Structure 1
Amino acid sequence: MGICPICNGFHEEQKNCRLCGEAMEDSGRVMDFYDDYSPYMPIDQMKLEDGYPEDYKNEQCPHLFKCPTCGFDTIIFIHE
């Protein structure tokens, strides 16, 4: 099991919106938005159920990035 550098505050990812070009904000792990208890579940268990089959095997952490200007959002896979 790897450690996500963004979740643990070791690194910040800078992404620009592909629609308007403004800086996007990291909203956290995408699986934390699934239901009320998702943030409290074991990370590896959530990776097996999150709909991204390769994130567990490739040690990636899917983060939701959202543009505060136009509202566009996308999933960025962060290598652990």
Structure 2
Amino acid sequence: MNVCPVCNGLREVYLLCANCGEPMLESGRLQDYYDDYSPYMEIDLMKMEDGYADTYSDHKCPHLYRCHACHKDDVIFIKE
């Protein structure tokens, strides 16, 4: 069984914004933003519906990172 180290609090990923150089904040799994019930659905099921076809088979978890200085969003794939 593969688990995401960021989702499970085992690791933190620190990124700097490519646009302004300020620190970006991890804002959770990308799938949690799809609709009202997506945070409660099975993770593997949501990965097959997330628009990133290889995230399920490659064991990657897409996370949203946001820059609060310039409001740039980036999707970062975390290896499970």
Give the TM-score normalised by the residue count of structure 2: 0.98
**Which is strand-richer, 1 or 2?**
2
Q: Which runs of 5+ in 1 are unaligned?
A: none
Question: Is the counterpart of residue 72 in structure 1 residue 72 in structure 2?
Answer: yes
Q: Hey, what does 1:3 align to over in structure 2?
A: 3
Give the TM-score normalised by the residue count of structure 1: 0.98
How many residues align? The count is 80
Whole-Å Cα distance in 2 between the matches of residues 34 and 13 of structure 1? 23
Amino acid at match of 1:63: H
Aligned-residue offset at 1:2: 1.1
Q: Which runs of 5+ in 2 are unaligned?
A: none
Correspondence 1:11-26 to 2 at 5 A: 11-26=11-26
Runs (4 or more) in structure 1 with deviation over 3 Å come to none
